[in-house]
Amino acid sequence: MLRVRTIEDVVILDGFVQGITRGLSYPTGSLLKISAHYLPNFGFELSDDNQAGFEALSLKKYFEGWERAAKVTLDTIKEATRKAGFPVDNSHLNVEVGKIVVELLMNLAKADKTRQFFLTDIGSGDGETTSAVLDAICNEGAFELAERCEFMLVEPSGENAWNAVNSLKGNGKDKKGHRINKEHKVSITMVSGTNHDFLGRLNEGESDIIYSNAVFHHMIFPTYLDTLREGLAADGVLVIGDWYTTIFKHPALIAEILEDLGIDKVKLGEFRSLFNCSEGDEKKVYAGEDMRDEIITNYRMKHYIVGIGNAFLTIPEENRDEFLEGHCAFKDRKEDLEKKGFVTDSEALGEHPAFGGIKNNVRDVDPYGAAKVGAFAKAAKPPAAANGGQDKKQKLRAAA
Amino acid sequence: MLYTLHEPGTIFTDFSDIERFDREFWEITKGLPIRTGSLTRLNSASFRLWRIGLTEENKPQIKALGDEFRRRDYIEMKNDSTIEGMETTNWSTMLRNSMARVMVHLAGEVLTALDGADREFHICELASGYGKTSISLASSLHAQGSDDLLSRMHFHFVDYSQEKLERTAYNLKPYRPAGIELAQQNDEQCLASATTAKFDIIFSLCHMHKKPFLGDLLEWIHERLAKKGAVISGDWHSSLSAHPRLLLRLLERIGAEPAKRRLLEDMFQNSLREPLPEMNAEESSAAIDHQEYWASVYNEILTSPSTKAMKSRHYVLSAFDTSKQRQELMEERGFTLDMDKIRKAFPSAKIHANPIHMIPETDRASVMIALKKRQTHPPG
């Protein structure tokens, strides 16, 4: 297996993989889209010296993919998603994100009846997640609370951010906004940027709640958690809705996907050789206890990817996406959160003012655990410094 | 042309004349990707303005023809995914998801109010597609840890597509409900033939505006709803289909050639002289919003890089009504939407308004919860 320590090594390895998977309707894309938890399985040797560079290149790869995606790409994926094996989609995650944000808000509001709240939606896209939060406020009848809230939508794409704010706030013309605006003044603003800068726009200690849905599986390193932690108020809470799967954990699992996408046997053999894995190695990946839900989720994820691959046959090659992404197991996300200074355990959260009456801070939307919404409080003590003292934003900018 | 053989204001009552006039009507938008669709798809309350005279004798035939066109459109949409892609905007998706969220919230409140030890519930979703609303309810209950309640819930799905029904069942099974029933049938036929216990909740999302004879469906819903059951519907509203002049405005808006507009003017010259239905500011806004929506779909088609886009067909007219007309019809058919009565039925439920208008300053979309008021005459 090739040892990957530098950007040049990544370019070489990606070149090999892309050569092998050329011609597939749904190619892999860069290996630097895979979660850092699993990169060692692909020969990556991560260190303090190379992480910033890998992270910047990873974000660049994701942005290139998003810029390439046309309406036809998204419509094709949507149609294929409906036919794939997941009972739920992002809209179901949004329901629970909305509900838990409002539960947290109501607790904080009860504790301090004059407090004003600042909420940040990270990677807000078309504004669907904030729409879900506003729906939850309306469903609870907590309109007075809404007037104490200021929402900020943070989104890399300026066009998306602009459309999202118009959809939610109304623009006085054809977009009349969310129904909450009819009688209740809700402040909604936007911030947009390119590449990694959008995270850096959060002001220190400003956000009472930061929420996000189906975004962080595009961040392969947990560095973003440092920025989010800094952006949160002392008693601030991070709410994450996301998808959890280990389908990209090991070359043996990716080989299975390639096989189902119709790669020819010779190329499949080349792929396996590149990563020193053999047919049947996927069984070793799944060896262990309590793997049933993980296996089912990964099977459904594979089915989903292959479904999209089949659907992509009907659209031009230049509009096709790439399938590798930075999903990880929930336990890996939880480990990242704890290392970066967040409280994840529901018992430990019991004393936190936002969590009064909330028995379960992690909620399964999908019966096999593929989709979860979790609420995590900023820990009182910051995590031990592991960055050599350099500001994370500075590091990202230097690497860009 | 049939319409030229008769006086301009003639209202057609003979079914074969209606069919022929309908086919002539299609000429107005022939060749355009945006098309009128059949007159039999319109709200039956507006038929007269569109020169259809509804009688006891022709009603079953008109209804059957409308259903047939709806079924054909459904198959066309299934075979050509660009149709839905073009008609779906981020805004409409967001609004539809928002309606589903409100409906799930209302259902949750009803279930909580009615729940008792070991009580079983029957939920029916009409025109269910992939069961979005019911699955949203199931996933929400699962997320809350209410698996016990889920295990006592029977879900019933009604849709034209066997494939979608099977996918819905496959997706719902992991939540382990008490039962899943599938009916590949027309909604009224399904409700008429249902042999299960009565439904505690009937969901309908973005469906009732497709029913020219909505009153008939409502009567069957009333018949099949449990005594304290609720019908929870989210839907689009508009007056676009209520008067030929509003269709004419749409044709002007999309820049349809003068010959097509003249054809519409010739076919409906008497109706065009009649005043528009009375509309308040929100209803007026909804009609304009609806026109703007179709104008933007048309523009999307014209500028699409896909060569398939111009060949796909999109049908503008359907059985839309205003939210006020919908409420009135529901009350006429034995339902109540009165907040006092709803609060009395579910005292601790968080239901703050009814109907819930989903967008400020326009009647374009609403969610309603309705309870049975009284026993009406048997449907059918």
Q: Measured between CA atoms, how close is A130 to chain B, in angstroms?
A: 11
CA atoms within a 13 Å half-sphere pointing along the CA-CB vector of A120: 28
Q: Which residues of B touch A368 (CB under 8 A)?
A: 174
- Pairwise CB contact (< 8 Å): B101 & A135: yes
Class of domain A90-245+335-399: alpha beta
Q: Are B105 and B201 in contact (CB under 8 A)?
A: no
| For residue B261, pLDDT beyond 50 | yes
Distance CA A117, CA A147 (A): 9
Tens digits of residue pLDDT in B211-256 = 999 999 999 999 999 998 999 999 999 999 899 999 999 999 888 8
Looking at residue A174, what is its pLDDT? 61
Token pair in block for residue B48: 């007269």
Q: Considering the entire predicted model, what is its pTM?
A: 0.92
List the one residue out of A242, A229, A307, A192 whose CA is nearest residue A92. A242
- Pairwise CB contact (< 8 Å): B360 & A176: yes
Confidence of residue A197 (pLDDT cuts 50, 70, 90): low
Tens digits of residue pLDDT in B113-129 = 999 879 999 999 999 99
Q: Which residues of B touch A179 (CB under 8 A)?
A: 356-360
Rounded mean pLDDT, B308-337: 91
- Which range has the worst mean pLDDT, A115-124, A142-151, A177-186, A237-246? A177-186
Looking at residue B221, what is its pLDDT? 96
- Which range has the worst mean pLDDT, A53-57, A358-362, A381-385, B76-80? A381-385
Looking at residue B196, what is its pLDDT? 75
| For residue A195, pLDDT beyond 70 | no
Domains of chain B: 90-237+321-372 (3.40.50.150)
Counts of helices then strands in chain B (DSSP H, E): 16, 10
| For residue B63, pLDDT beyond 80 | yes
Domain ranges, ordered by start, for chain A: 7-85+250-319, 90-245+335-399
List the one residue out of A86, A84, A75 whose CA is nearest residue A260. A84
Q: Measured between CA atoms, how close is B137 to chain A, in angstroms?
A: 9
- Between B85 and A364, the more confident residue is A364
- Pairwise CB contact (< 8 Å): B135 & A88: yes
- Which pairing describes strands A342-343 and A232-243: parallel, antiparallel, or unpaired? unpaired
Q: Which residues of A touch B174 (CB under 8 A)?
A: 87, 367-368
Looking at residue A199, what is its pLDDT? 60
Q: What is the ipTM of this complex?
A: 0.91
CA angle A188, A190, A191 (to 5 degrees): 155
Q: Measured between CA atoms, how close is B22 to chain A, in angstroms?
A: 33
Rounded mean pLDDT, A57-72: 84
Q: Across the interface, which of B84, B94, B138 has its CB nearest the CB of A126?
A: B94
Q: Across the interface, which of A170, A363, A368 has its CB nearest the CB of B174?
A: A368
Across all residues in chain A, what is the average pLDDT? 88
- Which range has the worst mean pLDDT, A3-12, A310-319, B15-24? A310-319
Quickly list H helices, chain A. Answer: 7-21, 48-68, 71-83, 90-111, 128-140, 143-146, 158-169, 197-200, 223-231, 251-260, 265-274, 281-285, 292-312, 330-339, 392-399
| For residue B376, pLDDT beyond 60 | no
Confidence of residue B377 (pLDDT cuts 50, 70, 90): low
